Amino acid sequence: MKKTPFRLTPYQVQWLLVVGFVTVGYALYLRYLAIEFSPVALACDAGLQTMLCKTRLLATYLFRNSVFGVVALIIATLHVIRPSIVLLTGGLIAAGFGIVLYNNGLSGTAIALLILGFARPAPATA
């Protein structure tokens, strides 16, 4: 049984670039314009019930419990075992949110594991 190395097509690379930029961009928006922005934080803490406040509450709950980092690490471990574009996309999303939203250690390890998922032995030459 011959195992082929995991390689991305150009369309998959473009997909991952779009997903990565959108994920990190939205995480930056959440961090700097919802979580750390004083007027929004004060309004949400005072009881404002908007979608931004609910998203802020969910994001703060998730990063306080290191959910982004743990999910990224689990998906990256699965990607190392059995690489696929679906696992790579999910790991990239979780790690992108984790890096921006205060789960640096676990998400950084997950990114290293995602990169390690490409390290396969070279095919034997005849």
Instruction: Calculate mean pLDDT across residues 10-20.
Output: 96
Q: Residue 126 pLDDT more than 60?
A: no
Task: List pLDDT tens digits, range 30-58.
Answer: 999 999 999 999 999 999 999 999 999 99
Task: List pLDDT tens digits, range 92-120.
Answer: 999 999 999 999 999 999 999 999 988 87
pTM strictly above 0.85: yes
Q: What are phi and psi of 9, to 5 degrees?
A: -80, 165
The pLDDT > 90 percentage for the chain reads 81
| CA distances from residue 12 to 15, 53, 102 in whole angstroms, order as listed | 5, 34, 28
- Please give the pLDDT value at position 99: 95
